[in-house]
Amino acid sequence: MKRESAEIYHTTFDWPPESDIQNRLVVPAGISEMETARKLLEYHRNIVRIIPSYPKILKVISADQPCVDVFYQALTYVQTHHRSNAPFTPKVLLCGPTGSGKSLQAALLAQKYGLVNVCCGQLLKEAVADKTQFGELIRPFFEKEMAVPNSLVVKVLSERLDQQDSIQKGWVLHGFPQDLDQAHMLNSVGYDPNRVFFLNVPFDSIVERLTLRRIDPVTGERYHLLYKPPPTMEIQARLLQHPKDSEEQVKLKVDLFYRNSADLEQFYGQAVTLNGDQDPYTVFEYVESGIINPLPKKIP
């Protein structure tokens, strides 16, 4: 390196012809053989974990060639590579009372767009069933039918949302958050959705959807007395209703959601509110358009 001008030279590829410049060149700090070897080791240790994050857009170019050739190969790749039309990785949050259709909409989004379907309640059940570290901490709350602490729920969610498929494909989350405190906790650990939908359904419709659900204890088949009635009187006679589907339990959950929904809607200022009391595929079309199209600009 030239001390006076800070111009950089190379003893093999770019050596200055002037002897006075040669005499005052100094070796920069941090490029000794030992230091360079350490940096290369650190690079190769980390790059193997970085490369899998970019499977469809990665271009490997040999840098062991003239700089101009490296530059033009990179430039050609940038100019010709067909990138995804998606303007962002979807991080979708579905909010709504019990029976509003969140699970179905999440399944439809996951199926069509390859998003990771993250159902909070299901994650907790799987953690307990798999006897994971967090599952063992959650188990006592399940056994006593108590609410799992928010801190534990967020840790289980973080573990799932940090997995490679969630990062690469995006995710659709439902079942959490259910109140403002939970929304703040989710935001504080870095999981900020870029699309939020509230599915509003009248109480009478929710009662119709949930209180008429039944299960056959013999076969495990699920029925709905209105939308999917049992095929025979014999089956109908043995059907059972889950205690959580009683009208009293449903009303408690719906009331709880709507007590907190105003704060949640204010917290997620760009949220889109949809009428969930219609054909589920019509609802899906609205959700889908809200993901594909730019966020609406709210008039101040």
Highest mean pLDDT among 40-44, 77-81, 263-267: 263-267
Cut 0.85: pTM above it: no
Identify each DSSP E strand in 20-144 by its residue range: 91-95, 116-119
Taking 70 as the threshold, does the pLDDT of residue 56 lie above it? no
Per-residue confidence band for 291, with pLDDT thresholds at 50, 70 and 90: confident
Domain boundaries, the chain: 32-80, 91-292
For CA atoms 212, 273, 295, 270, the dihedral sign is negative
Q: Using one digit for the tens of pLDDT, what is the confidence trace for 211-229?
A: 999 999 999 999 999 889 9
Q: For residue 118, give the nearest of 169, 68, 78 by alpha carbon.
A: 169
Lowest mean pLDDT among 43-47, 110-114, 150-154, 246-250: 43-47
Phi-psi sector, 271: left (phi>0), alpha (psi -120 to 50), beta: beta
Phi, psi dihedral angles at 48 (to 5 degrees): -65, -20
Contact (Cβ atoms closer than 8 angstroms) between residue 209 and residue 100: no
Per-residue confidence band for 210, with pLDDT thresholds at 50, 70 and 90: very high
Q: What does the alpha-carbon distance between residue 256 and residue 251 come to, in Å, rounded to a whole number?
A: 8
User: What percent of the chain is predicted at pLDDT more than 90?
Assistant: 58
Taking 80 as the threshold, does the pLDDT of residue 22 lie above it? no
Q: Using one digit for the tens of pLDDT, what is the confidence trace for 31-42?
A: 788 888 788 788
Q: Which residue has the tokens 């080791």?
A: 41
Q: What does the alpha-carbon distance between residue 5 and residue 88 come to, in Å, rounded to a whole number?
A: 44
In CATH terms, the superfamily for domain 91-292 is P-loop containing nucleotide triphosphate hydrolases (3.40.50.300)
All residues at 6 or more sequence positions from 188 whose CB lies less than 8 Å from its CB, including other chains: none
